[in-house]
């Protein structure tokens, strides 16, 4: 049965903070961030956006190309939830005018839940092969100011349409996954920023990759050489180098794989970490920027969600895939972002909604089609803007 990713599109807000500027403020050599961590910029969330608006904006362009009545499920993956009870997907269901006969749910397990959502969507589509499922991954990576994690912030959303006979990536049947209770990164309910043991989290990530790869290799009988391109969860793009080093012990193979990865890193190095969306942003970047025709090539994908759950799986790029990409839209989105000054970065960082649910109106900043307008009687209010985006 052929099931996988039929379309992919992403969204990130129209504001970024440069890592060069952050380095100046933190009195750190810029190369530590741009080379050592591998990040150039990080997208910054304005006051009138959240995971709902980012997710709706990511899916909007994609939905213009499909028959929405076939979508029987919207699975929303995030660790930056806006409500303890209601799925953020329901706001998106309304904003995108999705069919009434469509299931909506929100998934959480740090950065991994997008991958579980993809697998769940594949399961639903396999039960009714005429149907499609929309998976939306959206997150805001926020750490304490002046912390080591600050340089690895960012935000964005990726929407995936899952169907039978997919036009982009047919997912292979083999996949390897593991779970373990560790405290490498977490965010208690009372905090707006994550707590992280940075070095430990990096070590656990690489151990999880190693273990998942061994299991995947055993199941599929494939070697790293049989995978044409790798995509990874990228908390920062230097992680790709660390991950490839695990898989390719020979220096020359490793170097050539690192060069091959470049197109896949372009979005992540300017958006920053987008948690659940990060792996799929890497995939989107590879598809949008690869100079070679990728049709028929096998992509290996490694998903890691702190805490932790990890999975390695793969898929084959489909013939004609390049006709179904949104690369021009994505390039425009990034090119039109505004560089924030340090004072503006702090202003956006500190913006907070009243915690008592009182009526509040958010100032207009977004350049996206959907906006988080404010709160009334504890209810979040969303609205369409005049911005076209596409």
144 is catalytic: no
Considering the complex, state which of residue 153 and residue 366 has its C-beta at the smaller distance from ligand CAA. Answer: 153
Beta pairing, strands 338-339 & 309-317:
unpaired
Q: Is 362 in the site for ligand CAA (CB under 6 A)?
A: no
Total residues in contact with ligand CAA, by rule CB under 6 A: 26
Token duo for residue 200: 């430990």
Q: Is 275 in the site for ligand CAA (CB under 6 A)?
A: yes
171 upstream amide cis, omega within 30 of 0: no
Beta pairing, strands 154-164 & 132-141:
antiparallel
* Per-residue contact string for residues 82-111; x = within reach of ligand CAA by CB under 6 A: -----------------------------x
Q: Is 105 helix (H, G, I), strand (E, B) or coil?
A: strand
Q: Which stretch binds ligand CAA (CB under 6 A): 213-221, 232-240, 281-289, 353-361?
A: 232-240
111 is catalytic: yes
Considering the complex, state which of residue 172 and residue 184 has its C-beta at the smaller distance from ligand CAA. Answer: 184
CA distances, 1 to each of 72, 175, 268, 313 (Å)? 19, 15, 32, 16
CA distances, 318 to each of 100, 253, 298, 360 (Å)? 31, 26, 10, 48
Q: Which stretch binds ligand CAA (CB under 6 A): 2-10, 70-78, 145-153, 170-178?
A: 145-153
Q: Is 244 in the site for ligand CAA (CB under 6 A)?
A: no
Beta bridge partners of 16: 43, 339
284 is catalytic: no
**Considering 41, 49, 102, 111, which one is annotated as catalytic?**
111
Contacts of 144 (CB under 8 A, 6+ apart): 150, 193
Question: What is the CA 85 to chain-centroid distance, rounded?
Answer: 23
Considering the complex, state which of residue 185 and residue 321 has its C-beta at the smaller distance from ligand CAA. Answer: 185
> Is the four-CA dihedral 116, 277, 363, 333 of positive or negative sign?
negative
Options 19, 59, 77, 196; binder of ligand CAA; rule CB under 6 A: 196
Q: Is 35 in the site for ligand CAA (CB under 6 A)?
A: yes
List the catalytic residues.
Answer: 79, 111, 233
Q: Rule CB under 6 A: which residues touch ligand CAA?
A: 29, 31-32, 35-37, 111, 148-149, 151-152, 184-185, 196, 198-199, 201-202, 205, 233, 235-236, 273, 275, 304, 306
């Amino acid at each position: 049965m052929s099931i996988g990713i039929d379309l992919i599109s992403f969204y990130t807000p129209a504001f970024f903070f440069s890592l060069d500027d952050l380095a100046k403020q933190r009195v750190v050599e810029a190369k530590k961030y741009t080379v050592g961590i591998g990040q150039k910029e990080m997208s910054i969330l304005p006051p009138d956006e959240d995971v709902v608006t980012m997710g709706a904006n990511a899916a909007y362009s994609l939905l213009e190309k499909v028959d929405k009545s076939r979508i029987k499920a919207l699975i929303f993956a995030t660790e930056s939830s806006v409500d303890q009870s209601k799925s953020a997907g329901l706001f998106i269901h309304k904003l995108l005018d999705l069919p009434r006969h469509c299931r909506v749910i929100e998934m959480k397990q740090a950065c991994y839940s997008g991958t579980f959502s993809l697998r769940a969507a594949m399961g639903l589509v396999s039960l009714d092969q005429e149907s499609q499922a929309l998976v939306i991954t959206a997150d805001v990576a926020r750490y304490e100011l002046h912390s080591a994690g600050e340089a690895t912030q960012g935000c964005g959303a990726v929407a995936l349409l899952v169907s039978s006979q997919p036009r982009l990536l047919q997912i292979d049947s083999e996949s390897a996954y593991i779970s373990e209770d560790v405290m490498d990164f977490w965010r208690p309910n009372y905090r707006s920023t994550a707590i992280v043991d940075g070095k430990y989290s990096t070590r656990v990530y690489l151990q999880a990759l190693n273990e998942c790869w061994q299991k995947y290799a055993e199941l599929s009988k494939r070697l790293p050489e049989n995978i044409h391109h790798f995509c990874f969860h990228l908390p920062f793009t230097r992680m790709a180098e660390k991950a490839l080093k695990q898989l390719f012990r020979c220096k020359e193979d490793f170097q050539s794989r690192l060069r091959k990865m470049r197109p896949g890193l372009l979005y992540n190095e300017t958006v920053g970490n987008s948690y659940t969306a990060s792996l799929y942003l890497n995939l989107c970047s590879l598809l949008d920027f690869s100079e070679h025709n990728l049709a028929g090539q096998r992509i290996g994908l490694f998903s890691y969600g702190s805490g932790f759950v990890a999975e390695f799986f793969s898929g084959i790029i489909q013939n004609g895939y390049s006709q179904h990409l949104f690369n021009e839209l994505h390039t425009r989105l990034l090119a039109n972002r505004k560089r924030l000054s340090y004072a503006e970065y702090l202003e956006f960082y500190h913006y907070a909604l009243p915690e008592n649910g009182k009526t509040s109106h958010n100032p207009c900043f977004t350049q996206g089609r959907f906006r988080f307008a404010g709160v009334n009687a504890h209810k979040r209010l969303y609205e369409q803007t005049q911005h076209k985006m596409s």
